[in-house]
A and B are shown apart, each in its own frame.
Chain A
Amino acid sequence: MSQLDWVVLAGALGLMVTYGVWRGGRSRDIRGFLLAGKEMHWGTVALSIMATQASAITFLSTPGQAYTDGMRFVQFYFGLPIAMVVLSITAVPLYYRLKVYTAYEFLEGRFDLKTRALTAFLFLIQRGLAAGLTIFAPALILSVILGWDMRVTILVIGGLVVIYTTSGGTRAVSKTQVVQATIILVGMVAAFVVLVGSLPADVSFLDALRVAGKAGRLNAIDTSFSLTNRYTLWSGLIGGAFLQLSYFGTDQSQVQRYLTGKSVAQSRLGLLFNGMAKVPMQFGILLLGATVFAFYQFAAPPIFFNPVQTENARSSADGGRFAALEQCYRDVVGVREQHARELVRAMKTGDPRAQAEAQRAFGAASAEAEAVRKEAIALMRANDRRADPSDTNYVFLSFVVRYLPAGLVGLVLAAVFAASMSASSAELNALASATVVDVYRRLLKPGAEERHYVVVSRLATVFWGAFAIAFAQQASRLGSLVEAVNILGSLFYGTILGIFLTGFYVHRVSGTSVFAAAIVAETAVIGCYLFTPISFLWYNVLGCLAVILIALVLEPWVGSTAARQEPSPA
């Protein structure tokens, strides 16, 4: 990194923290600290929602996902617009009418205290772990690029987030997210422009896309139906809708964002804007990854994108063999590059026979290169059993460091930091809210002064920051980060959504039935994860339906109450 990069990165970090502390102000009551006084415009709500969901993991891992697996991951988000509409109609007006601080308050009025406590507990566990992953991602960048100690890096990143989140609460989080979203947008667009400009002079952007398409990287839609295929149109629309309903409707890190809106209308508009913009945004990030793939068909990629593990392999007992494989890989990708250029020429001529021949040769060279790469990864693993065979998270980062000019590297890193900080600040803020509102104020110390709860909220923010930092230290053992987060969420979201949907729509089910159903459903979901090949998006459907159906079955035996009145907030 050049000095200019450091200046840009440090300036952006300083701006974010200073702006957050400044705009956060000093709230004296819990409504100001946890809901920003409910004074946000829909534009701020929308950016805050988007910035909360799109963490650094999104910008690091998603392009790598497109590089290795193509663009089918975009289908994961197809359920999101559906969820935004459903929540705008149902949850938003309900939460406003009940004047809740957290989503879980609703459950006590509808069911009972133990159901509220169980759901809040599931949220705290799941979101606390996810917050650790969110902080881990940028720490990964610095440790790989600069060789910094991972532990120190995690502490620095987590510490910056804790400073302004503790100081200004939800207002600081939401206001800072607007700045962070701007930095992210500028950084990613700049990276895309440089990437397209870095293609060979005789290869246009369209040519590059055609090559990526021939290599199967532009497979945005898969209409097949399979419970074990991770990303299809149907798993995205059905499983994705359940996941997004649960995330945006019951996860306090998102509920808290739209509860800051001035009115129901402002909150709804924020959600609906997200419903319109999210899918194209994800498509753009995946297209960035697919374009990086196309770029590397005309330039030699490293045999493995994690430079630390590559260096370890070079200096291992099998270093000589690994070096030979690296040389072989360079030769093979050189041949592949020639075939890629021939394919471009053939496609321009429009001759089907020449095109088929060029595509066959390009495919054969690609397969050969992949075989050499797999052999190198196997060798790497043979020398170090802890070595991660996936380098998905390093693909985009590697390109940034190698090919972006001075200043832009700092800007892209600032964007990644901004993304991580915006998501983790919302998470810590929500964790603190659930801890104080659903646990401390409800169970441990009800009836204290507002200022006392604000102080406890600040302490809870610091506690969850420390928890996330501690978990982040272990996160490097996971594979693709974006999938890890989504799998982790899917283990819990279905059950939580089932509890809420039962509360919303199945009036004859009481608290004891839904509580027992939730325990059984969660056990079943974890069992599916451990013992079946069912893809994780379906866990959301399974967990949700299991809660509703089991609660209905149990109700005649364990239920105590038939129809319930609409709850009032605790």
Chain B
Amino acid sequence: MAEERPIPQREEPPPFGGTWGVLYVGVLGTLAVLIALFCLFTLVFR
């Protein structure tokens, strides 16, 4: 008798952006852009 395996639940997709991975990259990318802008801000007004 074959071992019964749990069927993985299909993840609910986000309402926008396509996949969750895109949204995660978007959040981290925004952070990277903000840090870069803040560096620029610090340098410009030093």
Contacts and interface: CB of A to CB of B under 8 A. Distances in A.
A355 interface: no
Given A221-B38, A263-B12, A265-B12, A213 B27 contact: no
Interface string A231-270: 0010000000000000000000000000000011100110
Given A210-B45, A263-B12, A85 B30 contact: no
B12 A85 contact: no
B39 A88 contact: no
Contact of B42 (A78, A218, A265): A218
Tell me which of A219, A220, A269, A283 has the highest count of chain B C-beta atoms within 10 A of its own C-beta.
Answer: A220
Given A264-B12, A265-B14, A269-B14, A276 B35 contact: no
Interface residues of A, number: 31
A212 interface: yes
Contacts of B23: 268-269, 272
Contacts of A93: 11
Interface residues of B, number: 22
B27 A81 contact: yes
A223 B43 CA distance: 12
Contacts of A550: none
B46 A213 contact: yes
A218 B46 CA distance: 7
Contacts of B14: 265, 268-269
Contacts of B13: 265
Nearest to A280: B34
Secondary structure call for the A interface: helix
B3 to A, nearest CB: 16
Contacts of A210: 45
Contact of A269 (B15, B41, B46): B15
A227 interface: no
A265 B28 contact: no
B18 to A, nearest CB: 13
Nearest to A74: B38
A275 interface: yes
Nearest to A263: B12
A100 interface: no
Interface of A: 74, 78, 81-82, 84-85, 88-89, 93, 209-210, 212-214, 218-221, 223, 233, 263-265, 268-269, 272, 275-276, 279-280, 283
